[in-house]
Amino acid sequence: MKTIIIDMDDVLADASARILEIFNELNGTNVDKSFFDNRNFYEFINSNGHKPYRPQLFEPGFFRNLTVMPDAQEVVKELSEKHKVYVVSAATEFPNSLKEKYDWMAEHFPFISWKNFMLCGDKSIVKGDVMIDDHEKNLKTFDGEALLFDAMHNKLLTGYHRVYNWQEIHKHLLNLV
């Protein structure tokens, strides 16, 4: 039995889709995730006088209303039946997100106990066998196997085992014993 650490935003919850909706509304653009396949997300959004989307992340409702990533519920449920699964989210930067993320998890992943759901500010203290995350800052300090979940903001990042969806994670982790 392995200990698997799973991030929330852009791993379980599709934060990027909502971020792009906000960005497009604010800037009169119509970009989608594939727009960032070959360009740096952060450089683009911080260029050409684009209005920032980040203030919206502090608004009530942002984290509570995110959609679930395809196949995440089924795969995480199966993983939790065979391994120790913890959902760890760096949430304290966004105070409204604490209750919203808890409620979101209770609705969409009720099989994950509150004891296995952690909200923190810095994941460098997290220990386990596998971490699935979309940010290098969390993976680079992790001592176990690091799986980079593909996201629009990390397309140009290399040096990690990249996973593109939950079915791929299922195939990769199914043989862990």
- The structure tokens listed for 94 are 């966004």
Residue owning tokens 């509304």: 25
Q: The domain containing residue 20 runs over which residues?
A: 1-177
CA separation for the pair 55, 69 (Å, rounded): 23
CA separation for the pair 54, 136 (Å, rounded): 19
Residue owning tokens 């409620």: 103
DSSP line for 85-123: EEEEEE-TTSTTHHHHHHHHHHHH-TTS-GGGEEEES-G
Q: How many domains would you assign to the chain?
A: 1
Helix axes 166-173, 72-82, angle to 10 degrees: 20
Q: What is the pLDDT of residues 8-42, one digit of tens each?
A: 999 999 999 999 999 999 999 999 999 999 999 99
pLDDT band at 175 (very low <50, low <70, confident <90, very high): low
- The pLDDT of residue 174 is 81
Provide the whole-model pTM: 0.94
Catalytic residues: 7, 9
Strand duo 3-6 + 145-149: pairing: unpaired
- The structure tokens listed for 68 are 């679930």
3-class state of residue 153 by DSSP: coil
Q: What is the pLDDT of residues 120-170, one digit of tens each?
A: 999 999 999 999 999 999 999 999 999 999 999 999 999 999 999 999 999
Residue 80: CATH number of its domain? 3.40.50.1000
Half-sphere exposure of 90 (CA within 13 A, CB side): 15
Name the region of 108 (left: φ>0; alpha: ψ -120 to 50; beta: rest). Answer: alpha
Q: What is the pLDDT of residues 36-66, one digit of tens each?
A: 999 999 999 998 899 999 999 999 999 999 9
